[in-house]
Amino acid sequence: MATRIPLIAGNWKMFKTGPEAADAARSLKSLLAGVSGVDVMIAPPFTALATVGDVLKDASIAVGAQNLHWESQGAFTGEIAPGMVKAAGCRHAIIGHSERRQLFGETDGDVNRKVQAALAVGLIPVLCIGETEAEREAAQTFSVLDKQVRLGLEGVSLQNPGDLVVAYEPLWAIGTGKTATREQAQEAHAYIRGLLRELYGETMADAMRILYGGSVKPDNIAALIGMDDIDGALVGGASLEPETFARIVKLGD
């Protein structure tokens, strides 16, 4: 098995003004000073990207966007281009989050275009996939993941395993307080890695990071990240409080 450095990513969603985000970033920078053996990324709202990027410019904490459009520019009112978030200091872009798919109607085709657009400007896509509770109960988890991975990555070529991160987020565990058991999560992650092996070969896939997302907290991160194919976490609500997020990061190394 390839050695993979864990990645703990915080998705701040639609929380924090620019000043609030800057304060949180400064706190996180202090709390995580000297921490090694784990990579960290936070994704503030668009309005705070440049501010947070400035706060963290000399820190080892990366900044990510929560979404982007697949066009480089144009008459797309309310959207933001890949180059814009890159210029604001982003290294990553979360793509296909379940809230984007469920609330805003994003399709696998949209996700695919966004992945390709992110890669084209040198951003690392964090491709989010996952099943609903109804799909899990109907034993459709693997078929859903198969479709989302294959369509989301159709025509996507990668030069290095670090060019893409996949995040498995079962929809029934996001913001619900429910968490997949570590065995359920590992089973899904192992299946996803098998799909990546088919698409990119064993060497590349075994070095790619697959994160778990869904009610991750300090009391469950260690058990999750201890599984063979879980390489970190995409943290939602628990990432909003710097002290809590720092605890997750320190337990995830």
Residue numbers annotated as active site: 97, 169
Residues 146/147/149/152 CA torsion (nearest 10 deg) = 170
* Environment class of 1 (CB within 10 Å of its CB; exposed 0-12, middle 13-18, buried 19+): exposed
Which tokens is 103 given? 């609330």
* CB-CB neighbours of 67 under 10 Å: 19
Q: What is the DSSP string of 61-97?
A: EEEEES---SSSSSS-TT---HHHHHHTT-SEEEES-
- Spatial distance between the Cα atoms of 222 and 247, rounded to a whole number of angstroms: 11
Q: Cα separations (Å) of 69 from 25, 99, 121, 236?
A: 25, 16, 12, 22
CA 4 – CA 2 distance, rounded (Å): 6
Nearest alpha carbon to residue 27 among 213, 222, 239: 239
Contact 22, 51 (CB under 8 A): yes
